[in-house]
Structure 1
Amino acid sequence: MSDLKQMYRTILGDQFPEEMRITFGDQTLVYRKRTWKIRDETTGEVQERGVRYGENPDQEAALYELVNGNLVLGDCAYITPGNGLVSAISEADMLQAGKHPGKINLTDIDNSLNVLKFLMDRPAAVIVKHNNPCGVAYGDTIESAFTRAFRADRIAAFGGCVALNRPVDKATAEAIDELYVEVVAAPAYEDGAVEILARRKNLRIVQIRRIERLAEYWDRRFVDFKSLIDGGIIVQQSPVNRVRTREDLKPAECEYQGKTYRIRRLPDEREYADILFGWAVEQGVTSNSVLYVKDGATVGIGTGEQDRVGVAEIAVYKAYTKYADRLCHDRLGIPYKELELKVAKGERPREEKDEIDRQVQADRGGLPGSVMVSDAFFPFRDGVDVGIRQGISAVVHPGGSLRDWEAIEACNEADPPVAMVFTGQRAFKH
């Protein structure tokens, strides 16, 4: 165990070359390995190092930035050099290296930006853990955006990556400093903010200079590689979110056995806003996924499940769990799990927990009035029924199932009726 602890503190090093070239027919992309000059945590010596390690501390890893080549395949021109975000982080951008960043830290920042690029019209915050959003929110200020994102899931935010689309001011820095996170990424830091964040010596404080231009990355495609255990590679285009405005959404409608089924109610203005917000967040969630959003913030996020009704139920469970934790912290100043333990040991009165549990059930985990978002169609109505029982007011999903009519009927039969729109586009992410 002591050896493993030491591995976590060690920069593994790597044997990957300084330059990498990938050739597509007669076109070549050139990549340069990204390294940073850092001070060794043990010796104090300044050394040049790349990525700390891969997904685990015994895996070598390297980060490469695209520096040359303009790839065009068919009618698709892929992203060109000079547009680096995470791959372009320099020593100057590493305002505090903390524990030198590893692969997971970098990919968490990257997926945060993948969500933020759709949310640039207002102050927004994304908190990512293990490459999945755990809390995403808009705010009137960047501080309120962060606070709302954090309160969406106080539990999973522990040790996460915080990405913000506006400069960090002192108030936001103080709010972040109240919890433990691994990374903070933002376009800039106002006077005094870095000093506040730097109270945590292991925190990685990173400036991403192009965050204010993230909206330009909305429809830029890159080449997406997936390596196989036999050394083979699957190559695909990166996805493009085609839903920009409410006009890109279609009222739910389908035909089945000669009968046309239409949704009875369309979303109102608030629901349309949450649908667009939720579909943006969905782009960064591992499939199969279902999430619930309300008033520009996530309520419950279900990720990476094998069946759609199951992930809809998991997202409900998470909403209830996070709501209980939030109530407990607001009322008693401790996490809900700590309250459970203290009650079990007889150190706190059971009535405290019972009252919180009653409130969570009465409020249905804050789900009533939320929008249900699914990255693919519902193969049966059972998934939609999960959300309807919790009081959702609208559903958005791609459509295209042979049983779309069942989901439409479920919404029409609800009291009050639930709105439903189709995106016409799937958002799987594996």
Structure 2
Amino acid sequence: MKDYRELKRMYRTIQEDPFPPRIELAFVNEGERYTLIYEKVSWTIEGEDRGLRYGENPDQPAAMYRLVNGAVSLGSVEVFADGAWLSSDVELLQSGKHPGKINITDVDSALHILRYLQERPCCVIVKHNNPSGVAVADSLAEAYTKAYFADRIAAFGGAVVLNRAVDRQTAEEIARTYCEVVAAPDYEGEALDLLKTRKNLRIMRISRMENLREFAFRRYIDFTSLLDGGLILQASFASSVRTAEDFFPAVAEHQGVRYEIERKPTEKELEDMLFGWFVETGVTSNSVIYVKDGVTVGIGTGEQDRVGVAMIARDKAYVKMADRLCWQRFGVSWYELDDETKRREIWEEVEEARGGLEGAIMVSDAFFPFRDGVDVGIREGITGVVQPGGSLRDHEVIQACNEAGVTMVFTGQRCFRH
């Protein structure tokens, strides 16, 4: 039997790294050979130069590599070692301990969303490769606060990634909470010193994040390893929707009858539709999310059926709103509040506001196979829907929206993320 003290030690132990310092990957096509060269990444912390602490779990050795040389063109995918690194070139301003694989991949997941949201200050908080909260605002501190309270509980121990240099006010807000990672293009004035008061916080600077727009619609080669050592390669996802003008009104035909969405989106709805679609591209499928006023309200991730994940996102919106009110008023979580009168009052307020879903936009990463999925959102008072379209029953979904006065747009593109 293991000593119980070993359980804590395993999270502080750096796994021995068996991986080579350099990897060369050759693509051979009709006599032509293209080679990509990767070099292992490491950091010097307290005099010890090492790479990743461990992989997804403490007993999994891991290494991270950055592409340093070579060029490959495979159809629409062009890979160039131009030094425009992001996640593979983080600068550790404070670490406490060497980062693990999950720290890096959580930051990278946030960047997949942030690359589309560069026009305004934005914060993405990620936990286990999925956003717990995303928000845009007029200031970085406001964006962080809104993203944090979108799901305060899930944000605990997450990665906070911001698209602007962190100022003092934002640093003060972050330092009041517990997160494992903060990543940003830079840190202003006293902001870094404030964050360093959290001794084990991994503070990362990704200076090239200021050029994140360049990655918005750029593809790369995505590798998936199989159990038997095989590989699946694919071109990475890039959104075909770049502006609200790329959406098109929901239209379908069934048995010779044409069905069209009756109400066009307002400008405000289009803003949330675009924001919601960009966030949805970074959520594990099957997924449905709700957004309102540039903030995520409910995020449903990784489910097998669409109506089920629509309900999960709805239920999360209710509970997260209850927790937010409870924390702001009484300083305890919804799960810790033991005053039944206060609990009843808060829940009545949440129900009256429909969990904050009234007036929200519902976003789906794939088409709705039946109308039951959109009906979940319609019952909560959503005003708009974003989805790829292409279902045999699109006409039923259009009918459901028209009956409720809900607008809907198609993207013409699915954004599954596995």
Common fold: TM-score over 0.5: yes
The equivalent position to 1:264 in structure 2, one of 254, 262, 274, is 262
For 1:294 and 1:51, locate their aligned partners in 2 and report how far apart those are by CA, in whole Å: 38
Residues 13 and 49, structure 1, Cα contact 8 Å, conserved in 2: no
Q: 1:105 to 1:363 in 2, by over 3 A?
A: same
Does 1:38 pair with 2:50?
no
Deviates more, 1:244-253 or 1:420-429: 244-253
Alpha-carbon distance between aligned partners in 1 of 2:75 and 2:351, rounded to the nearest angstrom: 55
Cα drift, residue 330 of structure 1: 1.6
TM-score of the superposed pair, with normalisation by structure 1: 0.94
Match of 1:15 among 12, 15, 18: 18
Deviation digits for residues 207-226 of structure 1 (CA, Å, limit 9, x no counterpart): 00011110110111111011
Which of these residues, 144, 157, 160, is aligned with residue 159 of structure 1? 157
Which of 3, 6, 11 is the aligned partner of 2:6?
A: 3
| Aligned equivalent of 1:206 | 204
| Alpha-carbon displacement from aligned partner over 1:69-101 (angstroms, at most 9, x marks no partner) | 111013432343311111112xxx211012320
The answer on whether the counterparts of 2:69 and 2:80 sit within 8 Å (CA) in structure 1 is no
For the pair 1:429 / 2:417, whether they are aligned, the reply is yes
1:27 — aligned with what? 34
Q: Contact 1:71–1:80 (CA<8 Å) still a contact in 2?
A: no
| Corresponding residue number in structure 2 for 1:378 | 368
Q: 2:335 aligns with which of 330, 337, 348?
A: 337
What pairs with 1:108-257 in structure 2 (closer than 5 Å)? 108-257=106-255
Instruction: Tell me: CA distance 1:299–1:369, structure 2 relative to 1, closer, same or farther (3 Å).
Output: same
Counterpart AA for 2:414: R
Q: 1:268 to 1:79 in 2, by over 3 A?
A: farther
Q: How does 1:32-71 map to 2 (within 5 A)?
A: 32-39=39-46, 46-71=47-72
Which piece of structure 1 moves more, 65-74 or 302-311? Answer: 65-74
How much is the aligned-residue C-alpha RMSD, in angstroms? Answer: 0.9
Q: Residues 109-156 of structure 1: CA distance to partner in whole angstroms, max 9, x if unpaired? A: 001111001000000000000010010000111011101111111110
> Which of 348, 359, 369 is residue 349 of structure 2 equivalent to?
359
In 1, Cα distance between the equivalents of 2:142 and 2:310? 28
The one-letter code of the counterpart of 1:53 is Y
- What amino acid is the match of 1:429? R
Q: How does 1:265-304 map to 2 (within 5 A)?
A: 265-304=263-302
Post-superposition Cα deviations, 1:178-234, rounded to whole Å, max 9, x if no partner, equal 110000000010111111111111000000001111011011111101111111111
Q: Aligned residue pairs: how many?
A: 411
Q: What corresponds to 1:43 in structure 2?
A: none
Maintained 8 Å contact 1:79/1:221: no
Whole-angstrom CA distance in 1 between matches of 2:75 and 2:121: 37
In structure 1, distance between residues paired with 2:413 and 2:81: 26
Following the alignment from structure 1 to structure 2, what is the Cα–Cα distance between the partners of residues 74 and 56?
36
3-state SS in 2 of match to 1:156: helix
Deviates more, 1:94-103 or 1:154-163: 94-103
- Runs of 4+ deviating beyond 6 Å: none
Amino acid at match of 2:247: L
User: What CA distance in whole angstroms lies between the structure 2 residues aligned with 1:75 and 1:388?
Assistant: 39
When residues 370 and 79 of structure 1 are mapped into structure 2, their CA distance, relative to the original with a 3 A threshold, is farther
**Matches of 2:210 and 2:402 in 1, distance apart?**
42
Equivalents in 1 of 2:275, 2:312: separation in Å?
21
Larger CA deviation: 163-172 vs 77-86: 77-86
Structure 2: distance between partners of 1:28 and 1:68: 8
Taking the aligned partners of 2:36 and 2:224, their CA distance within structure 1 comes to 17
Letter in 2 for 1:298: T
Distance across 2 between alignment mates of 1:190 and 1:85: 20
CA contact (8 A) 2:276 2:290 kept: yes
CA deviation profile, 1:250-270 (whole Å, cap 9, x unmatched): 100010111100001111001
Structure 1 distance, partners of 2:79, 2:240, is 17
How many angstroms apart in 1 are the aligned matches of 2:356 and 2:348? 13
Partners of 1:246 and 1:37 in 2: CA distance = 45
Q: Distance in 1 between matches of 2:196 and 2:298?
A: 31
Matched ranges for 1:88-103 at <5 A? 88-89=89-90, 93-103=91-101
Q: Percent same amino acid among aligned pairs?
A: 59
Code of the residue aligned with 2:141 in structure 1: it is E
TM-score (norm 2): 0.97
Structure 1 CA distance, aligned partners of 2:211 and 2:76? Answer: 25
What is the alpha-carbon distance in structure 1 between the residues aligned to residue 26 and residue 147 of structure 2?
42
Q: Secondary structure at the match of 2:154?
A: coil
The gaps in structure 2 that reach 5 residues or longer are none
Secondary structure at 2:350 match in 1: helix
Deviation at 1:4, TM superposition (A): 2.1
Q: Is the 8 A contact 2:70 2:80 kept in 1?
A: no
For residue 245 of structure 1, report the CA deviation from its aligned partner. Answer: 1.1
Structure 1 unaligned spans of 5+: 40-45, 344-348
**Structure-1 separation of matches of 2:331 and 2:62:** 41
One-letter code of the match for 1:226? T
